[in-house]
């Protein structure tokens, strides 16, 4: 199993210019440490207008900074919003290729379509169309990276013949993933040969079921890129402490803060009835009963903590036990959220990372850092799908 | 910490709210309900219309729902509501500004059992081949006129119904309370389209010039059997029911 860290960059009110800088500085310090400790990925989201919850609207800049202060950790853009009204696909290809060059071939690209009305309403995106938009873009990206001349005429975007430059450093191109939040996206991932970038806090049983579907489909996939990226990652909270009760309590606090901020946002499904969003993405997991769900909720002191066993908070043994559950469900990478809204002091976050790396990481067999499995496939003719 | 509403609830109460009679175990089943609902983004300054126990949604929006109830325990009536969308803790709720109801019996029951901020008013809904139109009148004047344009069928299960939060005076507790009303729907038919607001009287809806519309989101029209269960939660309107853990010092 591999481990990564994952950033939303949440900045609690009251805001100040210093507060935002502090959050970014803290994140960069954590990334440097993660690199030293053997974490294999740092991921950062792309979100716009998600007050407090995510001030990460230019992740390519943050991730480039991460690459500049590290030596080996892979930088994952997770996810880049693949909707032409938000990001022109050419600009996605160009920026990602440049990131891959300056990071020395350490880029992974997560793709996705957004799930909030906050973002879609701002960019004039019809929620009904996002899956189709994403599909067009995700088929074009590898071709822009590998073909000298590229042209495309689609329903949602077009490009006359152009040489899209630069090309990525990695041959043939960086690994591609898709954010898997809505049920059924694992099917899209499997059919297209994309890695499953889990971004919800669903149950282990749910994950196992979806993982089976994915692994089955990917065997006969038609890859959008030039290789199949067969991986399943899950997202979790990490707070590791020698004292289990303290670890659970602190982890629960920041996980609750994360859920609280997420709940303020209007998801697409909240206000725009559509079959394109069967769930509200992250939000259902955060709003459900903690007894049934997987995200700890604020509890009264008398109740004590009620934390699902699949959440990776507590002492090293408890964290290991939680990870084993995900491992047995077929997950091969777990990405961790380390803090939310600066609920946990930076020194404690760093201590948690160190303890995890010292006591938990060695318990999981880790191979060398390799690029996700590659299966060569025939090059697709120029001119798009 | 997410922003909280700043409504002066005592001053608001002076302008007229319901007197909540207390818990009642009886649910109402409202058969063949016709409901037109519009979601519209509004400018953020309208968060001053939310009580301090609620967070504004991001972005802030307003929901109008206009309903015709042909078959109810108190006979047929119409109900038009205007709500500012917010959150109680982490749960989406619409703060009910005003509910216009055309039946005196229904007004009395809705106020006493669920705390709806009722006033007399009539609502009409017309279905046309390309649109569904509604007009709401209070004191004979148009309080709201709106449309769903470009009708298209959807699944009823795609509609996320919004529970309302009604500010009322609780006789039993002798204080102001926020009553959460969570209707349940069994859909027979559902449609979605574009919302269009034709007329909106700020005075009737008690928005005091604070509501400025930004952009329409969606409109739905549905026929359903609706159940109005007894309130499950009655909370303090002045304090959030749960709080986000505070950041480290």
Residues B45-65: pLDDT tens digits? 999 999 999 999 999 999 999
Q: How many domains does chain B have?
A: 1
Nearest to B244 among A260, A266, A344 (CB): A260
Task: Determine, for residues A342 and B248 on separate chains, whether the beta-carbon distance falls below 8 Å.
Answer: yes
Say if B240 falls within a structural domain: no
Total domains in chain A come to 1
A204-218 and A316-328 are packed helices; what angle lies between their axes, rounded to 10 degrees?
Answer: 40
CB of A234 within 8 A of CB of A331? Answer: yes
Q: What is the number of CB-based contacts under 8 A between chain A and chain B?
A: 102
Interchain pair B217, A345: CB under 8 A:
no
Residue A381 lies in a domain: no
CA angle A277-A215-A279, nearest 5°?
15
- Is B248 contained in some domain? no
Tens of pLDDT, residues B77-129: 999 999 999 999 999 999 999 999 999 999 999 999 999 999 999 999 999 99
pLDDT tens string B208-239: 899 999 999 999 999 999 999 999 899 999 99
- Residue A290 — pLDDT band, cuts 50, 70, 90? very low
DSSP A138-154: HHHHHHHHH-SSEEEE-
Q: Which residues of B174-200 are buried (b: 16+ CB within 10 A; e: fewer)?
A: eebbbbbbbbebebeebbbbbbbbeeb
Q: Are B65 and B97 in contact (CB under 8 A)?
A: no
Sign (positive/negative) of CA torsion A364, A370, A372, A374? negative
**Within a domain: residue A334?**
yes
**Are A51 and B215 a contacting pair at CB < 8 A?**
no
CATH number reported for the structural domain that contains residue B120 in this entry: 2.40.400.10
Q: What is the ipTM of this complex?
A: 0.93
Name the residue in chain B with its Cα closest to that of A283: B90
Q: B206 with B95: CB under 8 angstroms?
A: no
Question: Which domain range does residue B157 map to?
Answer: 9-233
- What dihedral angle (degrees, nearest 10) is formed by the CA atoms of A340, A346, A350, A351? -110
Residue pair A17/A339 in contact by the 8 Å Cβ criterion: no
Is B146 a member of any domain?
yes
Is A382 inside any structural domain?
no
Residue A6 lies inside a defined structural domain of this protein: yes
Q: Is A266–B247 a contact, with Cβ atoms under 8 angstroms apart?
A: no
CA-to-CA distance for A134 and A116, rounded, in angstroms? 15
| Full residue range of the structural domain in which residue A184 is found | 2-363
* Cβ contacts of A275 on chain B, cutoff 8 Å: 154-155, 158
Find the CATH number of the domain harbouring A37: 3.20.20.30
Residue B211 located in a structural domain = yes
Q: Flag whether residue B216 sits within 8 Å of chain A, measured between CB atoms.
A: no
Q: How many Cα atoms are found within 13 Å in the side-chain-facing hemisphere of B217?
A: 31
Mean pLDDT, rounded, of chain A: 89
Residue B2 lies in a domain: no
* Contacts (Cβ under 8 Å, ≥6 apart) of A206: none
CA-wise closest residue to A62 among A11, A3, A134, A138: A11
Answer whether A344 sits within 8 Å of B248, measured CB to CB.
Answer: yes
Instruction: Kindly determine whether residue B58 and residue A266, on different chains, have CB atoms separated by under 8 Å.
Output: yes
Q: Which of B85, B215, B220 sits opposite A273 (nearest CB)?
A: B220
Query: Is the Cβ of B93 closer than 8 Å to some Cβ of chain A?
Result: no
């Amino acid at each position: 199993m591999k481990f990564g860290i994952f950033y939303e960059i949440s900045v609690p009110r009251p805001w100040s210019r210093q507060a935002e800088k502090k959050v970014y500085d803290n994140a960069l310090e954590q990334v440097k440490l993660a690199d030293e400790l053997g974490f294999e990925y740092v991921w950062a989201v792309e979100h716009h207008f998600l007050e407090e919850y995510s001030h990460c609207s230019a992740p390519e800049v943050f991730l480039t900074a991460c690459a500049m202060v590290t030596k080996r950790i892979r930088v994952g853009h997770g996810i880049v919003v693949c909707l032409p009204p938000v990001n022109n696909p050419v600009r996605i290809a160009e920026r990602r290729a440049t990131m891959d060059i300056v990071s020395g071939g350490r880029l992974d690209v997560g793709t996705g379509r957004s799930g909030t009305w906050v973002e879609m309403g701002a960019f004039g995106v019809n929620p009904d169309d996002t899956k189709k938009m994403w599909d067009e873009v995700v088929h074009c990206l590898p071709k822009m990276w590998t073909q000298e001349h590229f042209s495309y005429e689609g329903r949602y975007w077009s490009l006359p013949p152009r040489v899209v430059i630069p090309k990525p450093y990695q041959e043939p191109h960086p690994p591609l993933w898709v954010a898997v939040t809505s049920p059924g996206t694992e099917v899209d991932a499997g059919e297209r040969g994309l890695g499953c970038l889990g971004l919800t806090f669903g149950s282990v049983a749910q994950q196992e079921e979806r993982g089976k579907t994915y692994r089955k489909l990917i065997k006969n996939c038609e890859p959008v890129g030039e290789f199949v990226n067969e991986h399943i990652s899950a997202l979790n909270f990490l707070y590791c402490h020698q004292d289990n009760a303290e670890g659970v309590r602190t982890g629960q606090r920041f996980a609750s803060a994360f859920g609280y901020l997420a709940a303020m946002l209007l998801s697409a499904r909240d206000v725009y009835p559509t079959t394109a969003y069967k769930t509200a993405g992250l939000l259902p997991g955060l709003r459900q009963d903690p007894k049934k769900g997987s995200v700890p909720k604020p509890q009264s002191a008398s109740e004590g903590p009620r934390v699902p066993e699949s959440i990776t908070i507590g002492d090293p043994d408890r964290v290991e036990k939680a990870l084993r559950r995900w491992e047995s469900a077929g997950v091969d990478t777990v990405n961790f959220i380390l803090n939310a809204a600066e609920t946990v002091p930076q020194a404690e976050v760093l201590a948690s990372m160190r303890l995890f790396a010292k006591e938990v990481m060695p318990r999981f067999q880790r191979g060398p850092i390799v690029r996700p499995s590659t299966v060569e496939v025939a090059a697709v003719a120029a001119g798009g799908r | 910490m997410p922003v909280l509403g700043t409504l002066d609830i005592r001053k608001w109460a002076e302008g007229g709210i319901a007197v909540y009679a207390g818990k009642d175990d009886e649910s109402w089943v409202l058969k063949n309900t016709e409901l037109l609902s519009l979601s519209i983004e509004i400018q953020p300054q309208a968060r001053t219309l939310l009580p301090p126990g609620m967070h504004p949604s991001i972005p802030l929006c307003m929901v109008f729902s206009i309903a015709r109830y042909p078959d109810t325990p108190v006979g047929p009536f119409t109900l038009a509501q205007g709500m500012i969308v917010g959150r109680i803790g982490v749960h989406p709720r619409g703060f009910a500004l005003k509910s216009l109801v055309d039946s005196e019996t229904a007004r009395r029951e809705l106020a006493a059992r669920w705390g709806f901020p009722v006033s007399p008013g009539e609502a009409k809904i017309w279905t046309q081949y390309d649109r569904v139109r509604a007009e709401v009148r209070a004191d004979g004047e148009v309080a709201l006129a709106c449309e769903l344009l470009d009708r298209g069928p959807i699944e009823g299960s795609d509609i996320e119904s919004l529970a309302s939060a009604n500010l009322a005076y609780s006789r039993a507790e002798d204080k102001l309370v926020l009553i959460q009303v969570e209707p349940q729907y069994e859909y027979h038919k559902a449609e979605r389209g574009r919302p269009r607001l034709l007329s909106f009287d700020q005075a009737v809806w008690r928005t005091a010039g604070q509501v400025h519309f930004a952009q329409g989101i969606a409109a739905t029209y549905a026929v359903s059997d609706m159940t109005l269960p007894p309130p499950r939660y009655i909370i303090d309107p002045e304090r959030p029911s749960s709080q986000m853990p505070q950041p480290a010092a």
